[in-house]
């Protein structure tokens, strides 16, 4: 049995740790591969958050989750918008809490998640192909971009799909 198969379901972990309630003040949104059904060995649980004062976020997260195995928290300044990222291990999963000062649903991670969810709903055949690329070590957005034959930076190219209608997305879809 693989590590992925032996771990509890990601939603059970979120529920057991009461993560959404614990993060309620930070407008949490569960993003990433598990809720998309494309998790592979090594996938983690990602939760995007928002807080106008990243120092406040760091203090509260340290107090609530600092006891967990492999807890670490750091500031990231190289993004267009500063971020605070906390990571820890619990119930056989790595969990990452990503916070920026901008509203959660405007953050790149959440925006990528929403377009990926939409694409998987429109084109179910994408799922197995994305998983196969991820198993080869390709990150999620580059995997989608490769399959959709998107040019340029895969993270930016995925965001360019947001405003497109389902019909327009269908026209972009190569034969799978």
pLDDT higher at 29 or 175: 29
pLDDT in tens, 105-162: 999 999 999 999 999 999 999 999 999 999 999 999 999 999 999 999 999 999 999 9
Q: pLDDT band at residue 171, thresholds of 50, 70 and 90?
A: confident
Domains by residue range for the chain, with CATH: 3-104 (3.30.460.10), 109-172 (no CATH)
Q: Which of 34, 23, 31 is nearest to 56 (CA)?
A: 23
Average pLDDT on 93-105 reads 97
Q: pLDDT value at position 80?
A: 78
2 pLDDT exceeds 60? no
């Amino acid at each position: 049995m693989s590590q992925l198969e032996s771990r509890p379901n990601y939603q059970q972990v979120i529920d057991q740790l009461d993560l959404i309630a614990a993060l309620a003040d930070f407008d949490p949104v569960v993003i990433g591969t598990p809720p998309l059904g494309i998790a592979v060995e090594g996938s983690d649980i990602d939760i995007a958050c928002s807080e106008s004062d990243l120092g406040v976020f760091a203090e509260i997260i340290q107090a609530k989750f600092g006891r967990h195995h492999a807890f670490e928290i750091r500031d990231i300044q190289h993004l267009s918008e500063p971020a605070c990222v906390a990571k820890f291990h619990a119930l056989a999963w790595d969990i990452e809490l990503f916070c920026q000062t901008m509203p959660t649903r405007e953050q790149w991670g959440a925006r990528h998640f929403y377009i990926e969810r939409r694409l998987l709903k429109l084109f179910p055949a994408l799922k197995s192909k994305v998983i196969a690329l991820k198993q080869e070590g390709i990150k999620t957005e580059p995997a989608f971009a490769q399959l959709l034959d998107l040019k340029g930076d895969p993270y930016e190219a995925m965001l360019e799909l947001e405003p497109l209608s389902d019909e327009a997305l269908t026209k972009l879809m190569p034969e799978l």
